[in-house]
A and B are shown apart, each in its own frame.
Chain A
Amino acid sequence: MRIGIVCPYAWDVPGGVQVHVRDLAETLIERGHDVSVLTPVEDPANLPPYAVDGGRPRAIPYNGSVARLTLGVKATARVRRWVRHGDFDVLHVHEPLAPSLGGLACWAARGPIVATVHSSIERSRVLATGYYLAQTVLEKVSAIIAVSEHARRTLVDHVGADAVLIPNGVRVDRFARAAPLRDWGSPTVLFLGRLDERRKGLPVLLDAFSLLRQTQPDVRLVIVGPGDPGEVLADVDPMLREHITCLGRVDDEVKAQALASVDIYVAPNTGGESFGIVLLEAMAAGTPVVASDLEAFERVLDGGRCGVMFPGGDHRALAGAIEELLRDPARCEALSTLGRQRAQRYDWGSVSEDVLRVYESVVSGQQRVEEDLRGQIVGRLAGRGRGSDA
């Protein structure tokens, strides 16, 4: 099948949606499908051969965090050109309601379109984006996939559309066979995520860590993720800082190695997570997980059975949970095994099969994806004026 996938966020900036799109595309290619991904990108040199440059993103505050999105006349023209020359059997748009390439692609194309909704959008956001705009985008979508029950519910409640639930996938083998990054020499706890985004919960973990050091003087904290460590660690006791290692932004391979090298992975997020893919990655690597009691995390951890959960934002409870786990190697071992089993269910091999079923159920063999020229005055001018040649 010839499949066009649209990624809304910059390819070379780490993020859950980008990883999802990359893994889906690569799994589909491994299965022998012909895949083209249109995505914004900071530096086109970072693109793999199957991806097409959708333009440079700009920083725009959206849905509670700063997202780098691609908009405007030029982006519209690129989307149209890609659709026109793509000759796709099916178009798969990610995050169609984000003001980015996804929505543009829905306007620019017609035919079999599948959309995946990743985030849970608040009602106010939907209304701000415009109920009418949301409708015009979703009206053309033949099938909607939601990666979590939460994301599905927001769609049902606020836009009145239903969705098929297909969870996020993990490339289990990549994480399972990663070699440890290094031997830390003492019990080590890992944090993964943007340092400067409060809802990722690093401040909670830092508070817990300083408590924890009082009873476990040799414990070490490793922080992985983009952001300025100086800013975050400014309030931390200098004595404590010696036991914190910041690795900065790393690629996926190093992330897998980091996961494999530590004793516990902590997800102290205080909100805004609709799935929790990193938890699955940790589980695939066999690392025990301590996570805040967000609904999404609870689901991934099979109701808390495959990890340890603590009340979100409560650093005392977090410190207690980590300490208890560090003192109980047998429990760590058990959680590691349970986690590996659990992650297997989310392996891309089986998830991509579910996605393919959805493609097949909207493709009838009679209609392909083509450019939609009706009523798109601005887009038409942009598309014609700039693009038919280059």
Chain B
Amino acid sequence: MNPWWWALIGAVAVLLLALYLSMTAGRLDRLHRRLDASETALDVQLLHRSALVLDLASTAIFDPASTVVLADSAHAARAAQDDDRIARALIESNLTRVLAETLSDREEVDELGDDAKALQMLAELRATCVRVQLSRRFLNDGVRACRQVRKQRFVRWFNLAGRTPWPETFEMDDTPPPGLALH
């Protein structure tokens, strides 16, 4: 075949590859942006949760022992904001467990019936626990989508992700306290 033909085929192939790479880079960029946003959203909800627990601990709802444990784990969670993922996840899970213990009983929580302010705080805490769950789920969905693209051959060969770190899921126990169910 005429060498010009080969050159043309080559040029078209290079062009297609370039187009594909630029589209994939665009996708990656969108996915990374979304991940950033999801990270921030989860961070906001986790901080909100620990702040609410601290507020609750400062009221007279709980017995002194529970108050100490709650305040302690909430403080730890706030201090862990800049820790690495795994350490922070452990500390947040710990707060979840403390909440589950102190607010384990629906009937006990119901006895707060006439304390309007406490009930409002507990309702807000429950809403925040649900939001933490949702935020984390959306973050992990995003991580999965992003990983799928980053695993593609061309993305690795051409290093399309640049120096962006490999996306990591956030694994923690985020079950809302049983005593707050349906409040």
With A112-B37, A139-B34, A367-B40 as known contacts, state yes or no: A362 contacts B145, CB within 8 Å: no
Binary contact track A223-240/B, C-beta < 8 Å → 1, others 0: 000000000000000000
Candidates A111, A361, A364; contact of B134 at CB < 8 Å: A361
With A164-B137, A360-B131, A361-B131 as known contacts, state yes or no: A140 contacts B30, CB within 8 Å: yes
Segment at the interface with A among B41-49, B64-72, B94-102, B103-111 = B41-49
With A363-B41, A364-B43 as known contacts, state yes or no: A139 contacts B130, CB within 8 Å: no
Residues from chain A with Cβ under 8 Å of B37 in the complex = 111-112, 142, 362, 364, 367
Shortest CB-to-CB span from A364 to chain B, Å, is: 4
Candidates A110, A139, A162; contact of B27 at CB < 8 Å: A139
Candidates B27, B45, B145; contact of A361 at CB < 8 Å: B45
Q: Tell whether B135 is near chain A: CB-to-CB under 8 Å.
A: yes
Interface size class of B (residues with CB under 8 A): 20 to 34
Q: Tell whether B172 is near chain A: CB-to-CB under 8 Å.
A: no
On whether the beta carbons of A362 and B31 are closer than 8 Å, the reply is no
A-B contact count (CB 8 A): 66
Q: Tell whether A365 is near chain B: CB-to-CB under 8 Å.
A: yes
Shortest CB-to-CB span from A112 to chain B, Å, is: 7
Q: Tell whether B148 is near chain A: CB-to-CB under 8 Å.
A: yes
A110 to B32 alpha-carbon distance, docked (Å): 12
Interface size class of A (residues with CB under 8 A): 20 to 34
Residues from chain B with Cβ under 8 Å of A358 in the complex = 134
Residues from chain A with Cβ under 8 Å of B148 in the complex = 160
On whether the beta carbons of B127 and A142 are closer than 8 Å, the reply is no
Q: Tell whether A85 is near chain B: CB-to-CB under 8 Å.
A: no
On whether the beta carbons of B38 and A362 are closer than 8 Å, the reply is yes
A136 to B33 alpha-carbon distance, docked (Å): 13
Q: Is the interface of B mostly helix, strand, loop or mixed?
A: helix
On whether the beta carbons of A357 and B43 are closer than 8 Å, the reply is no
With A161-B141, A365-B44 as known contacts, state yes or no: A357 contacts B26, CB within 8 Å: no
Residues from chain B with Cβ under 8 Å of A142 in the complex = 34, 37-38, 41, 138, 142
Residues from chain A with Cβ under 8 Å of B43 in the complex = 364
Residues from chain B with Cβ under 8 Å of A357 in the complex = 127, 130-131, 134
A375 to B28 alpha-carbon distance, docked (Å): 13
Q: Tell whether A366 is near chain B: CB-to-CB under 8 Å.
A: yes
Binary contact track A159-174/B, C-beta < 8 Å → 1, others 0: 0111010000000000
On whether the beta carbons of B34 and A140 are closer than 8 Å, the reply is yes
Q: Tell whether A143 is near chain B: CB-to-CB under 8 Å.
A: yes
Shortest CB-to-CB span from B108 to chain A, Å, is: 24
On whether the beta carbons of B131 and A366 are closer than 8 Å, the reply is no
Q: Tell whether A374 is near chain B: CB-to-CB under 8 Å.
A: yes
Binary contact track A90-123/B, C-beta < 8 Å → 1, others 0: 0000000000000000000011100000000000
On whether the beta carbons of A366 and B40 are closer than 8 Å, the reply is yes
Residues from chain B with Cβ under 8 Å of A365 in the complex = 44
Shortest CB-to-CB span from A155 to chain B, Å, is: 11
A140 to B38 alpha-carbon distance, docked (Å): 11
On whether the beta carbons of A164 and B134 are closer than 8 Å, the reply is yes
Candidates A139, A160, A362; contact of B30 at CB < 8 Å: A139
Shortest CB-to-CB span from B127 to chain A, Å, is: 7
Residues from chain B with Cβ under 8 Å of A110 in the complex = 30, 33
On whether the beta carbons of A364 and B44 are closer than 8 Å, the reply is yes
A112 to B31 alpha-carbon distance, docked (Å): 13
Q: Tell whether A341 is near chain B: CB-to-CB under 8 Å.
A: no
Interface residues of A in 327-361 (CB under 8 A from B): 357-358, 360-361
Candidates A139, A140, A361; contact of B135 at CB < 8 Å: A361
Residues from chain B with Cβ under 8 Å of A374 in the complex = 26, 29
Residues from chain A with Cβ under 8 Å of B40 in the complex = 364, 366-367
Shortest CB-to-CB span from A104 to chain B, Å, is: 16
Shortest CB-to-CB span from A239 to chain B, Å, is: 55
With A361-B138, A367-B37 as known contacts, state yes or no: A139 contacts B31, CB within 8 Å: yes
A86 to B127 alpha-carbon distance, docked (Å): 27
Residues from chain B with Cβ under 8 Å of A375 in the complex = 26
Selected A-B contacts with CB under 8 Å, 5 pairs:
A112-B41, A136-B27, A161-B145, A361-B41, A365-B44
Shortest 6 CB-CB contacts between residues of A and residues of B: A361-B134, A364-B40, A364-B41, A361-B135, A361-B131, A143-B138
A residues bordering B, Cβ < 8 Å?
110-112, 135-136, 138-143, 160-162, 164, 357-358, 360-367, 374-375
